Structure 1
Amino acid sequence: MIIGYRRSSTAEQQAGFEAQAETLKKAGADKVFGEMVSSVSERVELDRALEFAREGDVFMCTSLSRLARSLPRMFEIVSLLDRKGVTLRILDMGLDTSSSTGRLTLNLIGSICQWEREVMLERQRIGIAKARTEKKYRGRKPVAVPNADAVRTLKAEGWGMTQIARRLGISRASVYRALESA
């Protein structure tokens, strides 16, 4: 069986999310798992897809960045797939771990992707520091305070913290901060 996995970081990337599904289906995916979450968030659908995979299956994604953003996480996923006897295929690179060359290429590219991410984060830190010295940095938009009334209303109705967070599309920490701001 060919198992596809797709991911986008935000709902604003809906077109790309749908395009991934089409690409995976055209490449022969029998079942496609997908989610809209940051690569650093808990990825329930990825875990489900990895659990679903059986010996002899192919696990396929459109891009390495959709699968893992760090080298340790990539190695963790590849190791799990290897233990299960599942081949990894990354479409945009034409990469297939069923061969030693494919595994070598994956390791090299994974290292480059990790480096690229670290460089991007360093540039971001430099930009923020510069903006702070110029008094132009505002930080990210607050989430808790603008949602405080809705959080208190849902809490009064008996909703749990996780339910409130999901309903409002905010983190549990923001729910707690909103309740503290009362």
Structure 2
Amino acid sequence: MARIGYARVSSQDQDLEVQIERLEAEGCKPIRSEKVSGASRDGRDELAAILDFIREGDELVVVRLDRLGRDTRDVLNIVHELDQRGAFLTVLDPHVSTRGEPGRIVLTVLGMVAQMERRFIKERQKDGIERAKQAKVYKGGTRRVDHEAVKAMCAEGKKKSEVAKAFGISRMHVWRIIKGEEADVTG
């Protein structure tokens, strides 16, 4: 029976150290971590690896539920996958586990709150950008990824997952760059 830790932050400039230290203090081993958005499961290779190798009786541990995901459906699907394997989910803050039915109810509510929080963040961001545009001070975001370098690596025959890892982005982001869907979108 293993306690497997999972730590996640949304962007490359954020730090995973606090989450990893907390998971280590809880006796988690191994601990998998990644720097990728929690809006969906796309590009979350470390989480996928955990779900692939987790066994009956194992426990997936996260510091907060929003580290697992910000979409209620994704979180509930992960819980369902763990159930199918006979494994459990434990959230440290607040302490909730899927070992009992009350924990499942609390997780559902927390998942809904995380999703709502994400929606509020996006709305505030959109409002801020609109105000900046009206004040004629909005210059747009700066690209964080060299699109030409991404395309060059793909042209060399590198796998999308390799390219994504090299640039610290999701595979979906790589696909969008290749398809040219991000002409004016920051990344």
Which secondary structure does the structure 1 equivalent of 2:37 belong to? coil
- Extract unaligned runs of 5+ from structure 1: none
Q: What is the identity, as a one-letter code, of the residue corresponding to 2:49? A: R
- Tell me the equivalent position of 1:160: 157
Change (3 A) 1:90 1:22: same
- Tell me the equivalent position of 1:31: 30
TM-superposed deviation, 1:7: 1.2
- Tell me the equivalent position of 1:122: 123
Q: Pick 1 or 2: higher relative contact order, CA cutoff 8 A, min separation 6.
A: 2
Which one has a larger percent helix, Structure 1 or Structure 2? 1
- Tell me the equivalent position of 1:58: 59
Per the normalisation by structure 1, the TM-score is: 0.79
- Tell me the equivalent position of 2:96: 95
- Extract unaligned runs of 5+ from structure 2: none
Runs of 4+ more than 6 Å apart: none
- How many residue pairs were aligned? 171
* Aligned residues with identical type, % of pairs: 34
TM-superposed deviation, 1:135: 1.6
Change (3 A) 1:120 1:22: same
In 2, Cα distance between the equivalents of 1:111 and 1:87? 20
In 2, Cα distance between the equivalents of 1:151 and 1:108? 39
In 1, Cα distance between the equivalents of 2:87 and 2:76? 14
Which secondary structure does the structure 2 equivalent of 1:7 belong to? strand
In 2, Cα distance between the equivalents of 1:166 and 1:56? 31
Which structure has the larger Rg? Answer: 1
Change (3 A) 1:11 1:39: same
TM-superposed deviation, 1:159: 2.7
